């Protein structure tokens, strides 16, 4: 079943020996390969391996026999053997017929913990395969180079938490994925070796052992898995059959899985939807799930749907901060955090578990949960039962076996600590500070002497985007300069390096800036002031005093960029006039010629070396190096009540302004003054009838929404700020036709 790869089916290696005895050795290699292809296409990788193995044993000189045997072995998660076979394929012609052999060797080396070896091979792949730089494998290899570098430099934090594998009474080498726990009863998905299908089982969890195991639900010709429950007790789970996975809901509360119906408001015909998980946000239930439905960012994406009158409707993609061109799987939402697994975000290998703070429409930045929760293998299905207990599934090899074919359930017991209330605010500030600084440094690059060339000014009216766009437009100019005087092979290498610089440095820098701005706005809207430290650099073509002025202009262009970004939402914070009291300030760090690398040429006559060379390009930059958060003191009390925190305008025209009134009631015995009402974008206009509400009285907030010619589902927020309190958040939605 094709969809089963998304619920971590165990490729049971012991099947291979049994299957081989059933196959006829009288068949020709061509016939065996044809049957192997059919099995592989159907997702039956053990059978495919058996056919490919026989064809290879009959004739090991055929290149296709080696490649397909390597592919099936990789899908069975037999990593060392797959590496050996890919190496055989590569040795035939150094990767000319099958260039991805190096890529897969690198991937599998990373998954077996050989980060240095993986890094060398990923770099080798990118160097030898430059013809399709926009293709998946090239982009994935570039991403893995960064990921390996991150993993190598990772410093594991000391922890007093307890982590280990749950012991399971089944003696066979099976696979289990954690689903749900309540009062020591575990529900989990179990791979049944007898029929090669997944089923739902339950057991009693005591310390680190599962006992009293029984099968709750199984199908004769399909798999079932991924159980979760909503707040009223209805169960949601996945059914997979004929290569397709769909989400079902029981007809009544409880575990009567046989009586269930397809969740048609979520289903997208012909596409997989799986791994349902229920989260509660601001008192409303959300269904999170993984799907490859249209409108996604890549393969499997995280999606969500909001509950409306007990029905989950209008699925929305969680966005490109979370989702990538690869797989994002097994979502779980708790305590204002979404947990999910990804094989694209920076990790140790395979799929790693990440967390991200926020809620739909307002996410922070994904954070790798680190070791020991993550390993170099596949780590999925992380779910917290409470503040001290969590479970996950992983195919990491354990002491009792070296196999990586199958998933086991692992537990994490956190050390129970009572954090003093006076320290909770500090803990929150540390968490948000780490999240904001996780994207730093943000490095922004410039063309020579930009902005405002040949100027002694220390400021500019230009913004960074203008300098960035001008720099990108000069790519051909740079190409002509770096290839001048070189032979054909040297020109290709020079252009390859130049394109990598613009893709991985210049364009990535601007992309990082956009993400940084999103996280920055989250902090400012909380009422926290932020000081940003920026360091300037310049190539040594000019004297130090000129370079200091130049780098000041470059930093000024960044500040100007902030003024125009997000519909000028940063302007009140830059001016210090934001109603919630938050301020945004910039602190220039020492800069000038002395920051340039010594090997960069300062020969004005040699423009190739002093302007267009890689060394010179690397020096012309500014770096956002640190963000310091100055928190606003908040308490948990609230002095106003809301008649509703959410309103859906339904379907509206793309140019029609709509309005809705929200009622705010003073629930105290004193006058309540509202400091400010802030919308998440300029398209939303909240207007208060009064900012001062007497005891027991009401105020009306008219919230207008202007679609400005947009299209599709829009979700916007309005924050109501009162001194000394956490902001109240009101959510509006609309479907723009």
Q: Is the pLDDT of residue 597 over 50?
A: no
CA dihedral of residues 335, 630, 682, 309 (deg, nearest 10) = 10
Q: Which stretch of 275-284, 406-415, 423-432 has the lowest confidence by average pLDDT? A: 423-432
Q: Report residue 564 as tokens.
A: 């125009």
Grouping H, G, I as helix, E, B as strand and the rest as coil, residue 173 is: coil
In a domain, 228, yes or no: yes
In a domain, 428, yes or no: no
Same domain as 669, residue 622: no
Q: Average pLDDT for residues 441-450, to the nearest whole number?
A: 92
Q: Of 417, 447, 470, which residue sits at a domain end?
A: 417
Q: Is the pLDDT of residue 599 over 70?
A: no
Distance between CA atoms of 711 and 652, rounded to whole angstroms? 10
Q: What is the DSSP letter of 497?
A: H
Distance between CA atoms of 119 and 127, rounded to whole angstroms? 12
Quote the number of domains for the chain: 4
Largest CA distance in the chain: 92
Q: What is the DSSP letter of 279?
A: E
> What is each CA distance from 567 to 561, 679, 680, 732, in whole angstroms?
11, 11, 10, 19
Same domain as 596, residue 662: no
Same domain as 322, residue 454: no
Q: Average pLDDT for residues 80-102, to the nearest whole number?
A: 92
In a domain, 372, yes or no: yes
Residue-by-residue DSSP string for 613-633: SHHHHHHSEEEEEEEEEEPPP
Name 242's bridge partners: none
Q: Which of 660, 641, 648 is nearest to 701 (CA)?
A: 660
Same domain as 494, residue 585: yes
Q: Which residue has the tokens 């809301």?
A: 642
Other CB atoms within 10 Å distance of the CB of residue 477: 12
> What is each CA distance from 596 to 297, 317, 504, 600, in whole angstroms?
39, 44, 20, 7
Q: Average pLDDT for residues 300-319, to the nearest whole number?
A: 94
Contact (CB, 8 A) for 360 and 281:
yes
For residue 639, what are the contacts with CB-CB under 8 A and spacing of at least 6?
Answer: 666, 667, 668, 672, 722, 725
How many Cα atoms are found within 13 Å in the side-chain-facing hemisphere of 355? 17
Q: Which ranges of 23-176 does DSSP label H, i.e. alpha helix?
A: 29-41, 45-58, 63-75, 79-93, 100-111, 115-128, 136-153
- Residue 543's pLDDT is 58
Grouping H, G, I as helix, E, B as strand and the rest as coil, residue 533 is: strand
For residue 104, what are the contacts with CB-CB under 8 A and spacing of at least 6?
Answer: 70, 74, 82, 86
**Tens of pLDDT along 148-166?**
888 887 767 667 788 888 8
Distance between CA atoms of 219 and 300, rounded to whole angstroms? 25
Q: Is the pLDDT of residue 424 over 90?
A: no
In a domain, 423, yes or no: no
Grouping H, G, I as helix, E, B as strand and the rest as coil, residue 484 is: coil
Q: Average pLDDT for residues 368-392, to the nearest whole number?
A: 92
- Residue 436's pLDDT is 67
Q: Of 86, 119, 153, which residue sits at a domain end?
A: 153
In a domain, 233, yes or no: yes
- Residue 463's pLDDT is 92
Q: Average pLDDT for residues 262-281, to the nearest whole number?
A: 95
Q: Is the pLDDT of residue 713 over 80?
A: no
Q: Which residue has the higher pLDDT, 727 or 614?
A: 614
> With pLDDT > 70 as the criterion, what percentage of the chain qualifies?
87
pTM of the model: 0.61
Q: Average pLDDT for residues 244-258, to the nearest whole number?
A: 94
Other CB atoms within 10 Å distance of the CB of residue 310: 9
Q: Average pLDDT for residues 272-283, to the nearest whole number?
A: 95
Distance between CA atoms of 726 and 737, rounded to whole angstroms? 35
In a domain, 242, yes or no: yes
**CA gyration radius, the chain:** 29
Q: Which stretch of 426-440, 539-553, 665-679, 682-696 has the lowest confidence by average pLDDT? A: 426-440
pLDDT tier for residue 4 given thresholds of 50, 70 and 90: very low
Grouping H, G, I as helix, E, B as strand and the rest as coil, residue 325 is: coil
Distance between CA atoms of 163 and 411, rounded to whole angstroms? 6
Q: Which residue has the tokens 């202009």?
A: 553
Same domain as 217, residue 101: no
**Tens of pLDDT along 199-239?**
999 999 887 888 888 999 999 889 999 999 999 999 999 99
Same domain as 327, residue 192: yes
Distance between CA atoms of 387 and 335, rounded to whole angstroms? 10
How many Cα atoms are found within 13 Å in the side-chain-facing hemisphere of 421? 4
24: buried, middle or exposed (CB in 10 Å: 19+, 13-18, 0-12)? exposed
Same domain as 588, residue 722: no
Q: Report residue 612 as tokens.
A: 């267009």
pLDDT tier for residue 601 given thresholds of 50, 70 and 90: very low
Same domain as 147, residue 210: no
CATH number at residue 292: 2.115.10.20
Q: What is the DSSP letter of 504?
A: I
**Tens of pLDDT along 460-503?**
999 999 999 999 999 999 999 999 988 887 888 888 889 888 98
Distance between CA atoms of 694 and 542, rounded to whole angstroms? 65
Residue-by-residue DSSP string for 402-427: ---SS-EEEEEEPPP----HHHHHHH
Q: Average pLDDT for residues 91-97, to the nearest whole number?
A: 88
In a domain, 292, yes or no: yes
Same domain as 567, residue 460: yes
pLDDT tier for residue 18 given thresholds of 50, 70 and 90: very low
Q: What is the DSSP letter of 725?
A: B
Q: Average pLDDT for residues 279-284, to the nearest whole number?
A: 93
Same domain as 147, residue 222: no
Distance between CA atoms of 716 and 93, rounded to whole angstroms? 56
Q: Report residue 182 as tokens.
A: 């309540």
Q: Average pLDDT for residues 552-570, to the nearest whole number?
A: 89
- Residue 426's pLDDT is 44
Compute the mean pLDDT over every residue in the chain, rounded to the nearest whole number: 84
Show the 3-state SS of 208-274: CEEEEEEEEECCCCCEEEEEEECCCCCEEEEEEECCEEEEEEECCCCCCCCCEEECCCCCCCCCCEE
Q: Which residue has the higher pLDDT, 403 or 118?
A: 118
Q: Which ranges of 607-726 does DSSP label H, i.e. alpha helix?
A: 607, 614-619
Parallel, antiparallel, or unpaired: how do β-strands 442-445 and 529-537 relate? Answer: unpaired
For residue 228, what are the contacts with CB-CB under 8 A and spacing of at least 6?
Answer: 179, 180, 235, 236, 237, 276, 277, 278
Q: Of 630, 653, 670, which residue sits at a domain end?
A: 630
Highest-confidence segment of 18-27, 227-236, 584-593, 597-606? 227-236
Q: Is the pLDDT of residue 27 over 90?
A: no
Q: Which of 703, 690, 687, 696 is nearest to 646 (CA)?
A: 703
Q: Is the pLDDT of residue 430 over 90?
A: no
> With pLDDT > 90 as the criterion, what percentage of the chain qualifies?
45
Range of the domain at 721: 640-736
Q: Is the pLDDT of residue 634 over 70?
A: no
In a domain, 427, yes or no: no
Q: Which residue has the higher pLDDT, 650 or 422?
A: 650
**Tens of pLDDT along 679-691?**
766 778 899 999 9
CATH number at residue 683: 2.60.40.10
Same domain as 626, residue 648: no
Angle between helix axes 464-472 and 508-525 (nearest 10 degrees) is: 160
Distance between CA atoms of 120 and 106, rounded to whole angstroms? 8
Residue-by-residue DSSP string for 151-197: HHH--PPP---EEEEPEES--S---EEEEEEETTEEEEEEEETTTTE
Q: Report residue 302 as tokens.
A: 């995280």
Q: Which residue has the higher pLDDT, 717 or 9?
A: 717
Contact (CB, 8 A) for 640 and 728:
yes
- Residue 728's pLDDT is 83
- Residue 712's pLDDT is 78
For residue 80, what are the contacts with CB-CB under 8 A and spacing of at least 6?
Answer: 112
pLDDT tier for residue 441 given thresholds of 50, 70 and 90: confident
Same domain as 147, residue 172: no
């Amino acid at each position: 079943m094709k969809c089963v790869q998304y619920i971590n089916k165990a490729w049971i290696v012991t099947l291979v020996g049994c299957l081989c005895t059933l196959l006829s050795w009288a068949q020709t290699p061509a016939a065996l390969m044809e049957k192997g292809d059919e099995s592989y296409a159907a997702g039956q990788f053990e059978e495919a391996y058996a056919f490919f193995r026989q064809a290879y044993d009959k004739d090991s000189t055929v290149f296709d026999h080696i490649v397909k045997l390597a592919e099936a072995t990789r899908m069975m998660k037999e990593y060392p053997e797959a590496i050996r076979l890919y190496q055989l394929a590569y040795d035939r012609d150094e990767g000319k017929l099958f260039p991805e052999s190096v890529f897969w060797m690198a991937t599998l080396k990373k998954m077996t913990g050989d980060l240095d070896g993986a890094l060398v091979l990923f770099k080798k792949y990118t160097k030898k395969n430059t013809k399709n730089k926009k293709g998946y494998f090239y982009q994935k290899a570039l991403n893995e180079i960064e990921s390996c570098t991150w993993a190598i430099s990772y410093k594991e934090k000391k922890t007093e938490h307890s982590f280990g594998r749950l012991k399971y009474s089944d003696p066979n080498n099976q696979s289990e994925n954690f689903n749900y726990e309540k009062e020591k009863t575990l529900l989990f998905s179990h791979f049944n070796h007898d029929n090669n299908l997944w089923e739902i089982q339950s057991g009693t969890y005591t310390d680190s052992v599962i006992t009293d195991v029984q099968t709750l639900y199984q199908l004769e010709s399909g798999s079932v898995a991924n159980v979760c429950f909503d707040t009223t007790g209805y169960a949601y789970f996945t059914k997979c059959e004929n290569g397709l996975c769909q989400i079902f809901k029981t007809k009544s509360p409880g575990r009567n899985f046989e009586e269930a119906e397809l969740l048609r408001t979520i289903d997208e015909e012909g596409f997989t939807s799986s791994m349902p998980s229920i989260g509660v946000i601001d008192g409303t239930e959300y269904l999170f799930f993984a799907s490859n439905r249209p409108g996604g960012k890549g393969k499997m994406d995280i999606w969500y749907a909001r509950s409306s009158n007990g029905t989950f409707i209008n699925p929305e993609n969680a966005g490109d901060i979370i989702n990538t061109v690869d797989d994002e799987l097994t979502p779980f939402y708790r305590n204002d955090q979404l947990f999910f697994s990804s094989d694209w975000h920076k990790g140790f290998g395979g799929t790693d578990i990440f967390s991200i703070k926020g809620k739909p429409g307002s996410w922070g930045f994904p954070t790798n949960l680190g070791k020991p929760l993550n390993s170099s293998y596949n780590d999925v299905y992380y779910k917290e039962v409470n503040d001290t207990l969590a479970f996950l599934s992983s195919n990491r090899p354990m002491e009792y076996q070296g196999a990586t074919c199958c998933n086991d359930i692992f537990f994490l017991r956190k050390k129970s600590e009572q954090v003093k209330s006076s320290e909770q605010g500090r803990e929150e500030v540390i968490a948000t500070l780490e999240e904001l600084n996780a994207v730093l440094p943000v490095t922004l690059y410039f063309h020579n002497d930009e902005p405002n060339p040949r100027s002694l000014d220390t400021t500019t009216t230009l913004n960074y985007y203008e300098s960035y766009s001008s720099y990108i437009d000069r790519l051909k100019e740079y190409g002509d300069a770096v290839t001048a005087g070189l032979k054909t092979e040297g020109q290709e290498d020079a252009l390859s390096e130049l394109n990598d610089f613009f893709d991985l440095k210049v364009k990535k820098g601007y992309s990082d800036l956009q993400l940084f701005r999103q996280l920055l706005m989250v902090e400012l809207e909380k009422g926290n002031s932020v000081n940003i430290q920026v360091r300037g650099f310049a190539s040594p073509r000019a004297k130090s005093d000129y370079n200091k002025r130049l780098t000041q202009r470059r930093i000024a262009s960044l500040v100007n960029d902030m003024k125009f970004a997000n519909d000028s939402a940063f302007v009140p914070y830059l001016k210090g006039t934001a109603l919630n009291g938050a301020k945004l300030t910039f602190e220039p760090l020492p800069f000038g010629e002395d920051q340039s690398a010594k090997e960069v040429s300062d020969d004005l006559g040699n423009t190739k070396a002093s302007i267009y060379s890689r060394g010179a390009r690397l020096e012309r930059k500014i770096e956002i190096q640190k963000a310091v958060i100055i928190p606003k003191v908040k308490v948990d009390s609230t002095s106003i009540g809301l008649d509703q925190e959410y309103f859906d305008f339904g379907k509206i025209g793309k140019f029609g302004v709509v309005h809705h009134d929200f009622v705010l009631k003073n629930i105290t015995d004193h006058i309540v003054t509202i400091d400010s009402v802030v919308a998440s974008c300029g398209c939303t206009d909240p207007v208060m009838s009064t900012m001062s509400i007497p005891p027991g009285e009401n105020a009306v907030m008219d919230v207008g929404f202007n679609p400005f010619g947009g299209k599709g589902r829009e979700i916007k927020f309005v924050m109501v700020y009162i001194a000394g309190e956490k902001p109240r958040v009101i959510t509006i939605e609309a479907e723009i036709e």
